[in-house]
Amino acid sequence: MSSVALLTIALLASISLAWALGASSTSPPLAPAVGARALSVMRAALLVGALAAAGAMLQGGTVSETVGNDLILGTSLTPLAVAVGLLTAAGFIAIGVATSYPIPAAFATTGAIIGVGLALGGDPATATYRELALFCVLVPPTGASIAYLTASMLRRESVPDTLAIPLLGGFVGIVVANVTLEILPAGSGTRPTIANMVSRSLGSAPTILGSYDLIMATTSLVCGAGVFLVLRYQASRSVDVAVRRFLIALGGLVAFSSGGSQVGLAIGPLGVLADDAAILTPRTVVLVGATGLLIGGWTGAPRIIQAVANEYSQLGIRRSIAALVPAFSITQTGILLGFPISLNNIIISSVIGSGLVVGAEGVSVRKITITAAAWLSALGGSCLVGYVGFGLASGLI
């Protein structure tokens, strides 16, 4: 088979995986708004597709670099390896959908790429694996803890919604000011964020921690204060309207973040081939991923959103907000570090944490145990299938 044919297969595999991620992994964040009847299913699906694609374009670089270049040492992925790896990941995700146990795309893709990389004769990137494992282990307790504390605050009568919702909005505003947006200008060794852009525009300032200076801190606080005041004003007029609008905005931010994170899983391996293929430039690779997420959100997300909305409606609006706050923060942390992470992992742990605020009776230990086992099986199984699959494909082609 010619190299052009193999490259075409790899490209189609990347688009297919991006579509699947757009339909499934990026759609849950706006389901709470649908469950609260703040958005229709179709409008939520349109927002999911657009926001996930925007996140892919503006934040997809760091995770793509890790997935494509940092999982295997001593060799580079070939078109055949990329095709086998992405098809393996897509297969495991499909199994998860069929069995109703969501398989984390990050686990399936990471395992598959490691498998084909080892089959190519590469060496394991042990240091990277340790970092990824530590982050994955910390995600569930961190997400559950933040969600539990947030839900507890929202339930306290001593903290009225007219104060609690603006406070949470202020925290989100501070995070947004420090979110990496690749369209923004940045100096050497600095991240392109709103806070950094303002700091560079105003000149040097005393540093607080590392490269983070006083102007950046002030900008972050101003952004947080701005969101706080807007929500405070809205809540003073109508608490219900303020809560619903904050829920929609928060869900949109998580959808945007998931696009920036999940696109790296689909295009990271493909990006390795960009240097060797004249028709496949880095910009084209990003457009492929963003387009796949966009189409997936518009065509496949309505069904997922409708199904998840029924589950979120049982949580209620405030507990849904409590689940989305850590989802946004942790996803952005993963993007900052360049770690391929599972949005399902974050969402599920956050939902469990927000649910614990009313007691542990509704938490199924059996379901959690089986889900965790399925996730670990996906990581090891995709690695094995990728390794064996590449060996078989190499012998046939």
* In contact, 184 and 197? CB cutoff 8 Å: yes
β strands within the chain, DSSP E: 72-73, 123-124, 207-209, 212-213
* In contact, 267 and 22? CB cutoff 8 Å: no
| Phi/psi of residue 78, nearest 5 degrees | -100, 165
Can you give the pLDDT at residue 9?
Answer: 80
Helix/strand/coil for 86: helix
Question: Half-sphere exposure of 42 toward its Cβ, with a 13 Å CA cutoff?
Answer: 0
Q: How far apart are the first and last CA of the chain?
A: 6
Can you give the pLDDT at residue 311?
Answer: 62
* In contact, 167 and 188? CB cutoff 8 Å: no
* In contact, 304 and 28? CB cutoff 8 Å: yes
pLDDT, one tens digit per residue, over 278-306 is 556 667 788 888 888 888 888 877 777 77
- Binned at pLDDT 50, 70 and 90, residue 228 comes out as very high
Can you give the pLDDT at residue 166?
Answer: 94
pLDDT, one tens digit per residue, over 315-351 is 678 888 888 898 899 999 988 888 888 777 787 778 7
d(CA 96, CA 87): 14
Higher pLDDT, 372 or 139: 139
Helix/strand/coil for 60: coil
pLDDT, one tens digit per residue, over 38-63 is 788 888 888 888 998 898 888 877 88
Predicted confidence (pLDDT) at residue 394 exceeds the cutoff of 70:
yes
Can you give the pLDDT at residue 250?
Answer: 92
**Secondary structure (DSSP) of 141-159:** HHHHHHHHHHHHHHH-TTS
Can you give the pLDDT at residue 313?
Answer: 58
Can you give the pLDDT at residue 371?
Answer: 66
d(CA 352, CA 348): 6
Can you give the pLDDT at residue 217?
Answer: 92
Nearest alpha carbon to residue 29 among 310, 256, 243, 241: 256
Q: With the C-alpha atoms ordered 20, 24, 30, 34, is the resulting torsion angle positive or negative?
A: positive
Can you give the pLDDT at residue 226?
Answer: 96
**Secondary structure (DSSP) of 160-222:** -HHHHHHHHHHHHHHHHHT---TTS---TTS---HHHHHHHHH----EEETTEEHHHHHHHHH
Can you give the pLDDT at residue 165?
Answer: 92
pLDDT, one tens digit per residue, over 185-221 is 766 667 888 998 998 888 777 888 777 889 999 999 9
pLDDT, one tens digit per residue, over 245-276 is 999 999 999 999 988 888 888 888 877 776 55
Can you give the pLDDT at residue 276?
Answer: 55
Q: With the C-alpha atoms ordered 39, 40, 46, 48, is the resulting torsion angle positive or negative?
A: positive
Number of H helices, E strands in the chain: 15, 4
Can you give the pLDDT at residue 356?
Answer: 73
* Mean pLDDT, all residues of the chain: 83
Containing H/E element for 375?
A: helix 365-396
Can you give the pLDDT at residue 22?
Answer: 81
Predicted confidence (pLDDT) at residue 102 exceeds the cutoff of 70:
no
Query: Which residues, listed in sequence order, are joined to residue 141 by a DSSP beta bridge?
Result: none
Q: Token digits for 72?
A: 């295997």
Query: Which residues, listed in sequence order, are joined to residue 124 by a DSSP beta bridge?
Result: 72
Among the ranges given (11-15, 229-233, 385-389), the one the predictor scored with the smallest mean pLDDT: 11-15
d(CA 142, CA 145): 5
Higher pLDDT, 283 or 16: 16
Higher pLDDT, 368 or 386: 386
Can you give the pLDDT at residue 343?
Answer: 76
d(CA 87, CA 98): 16
CA dihedral 142, 146, 152, 155 (to 10 degrees): -140
Instruction: Report the pLDDT averaged over residues 144-164.
Output: 87
Q: Where are the domains of the chain?
A: 3-154+260-396
Q: What one-letter code names the amino acid at 50?
A: A
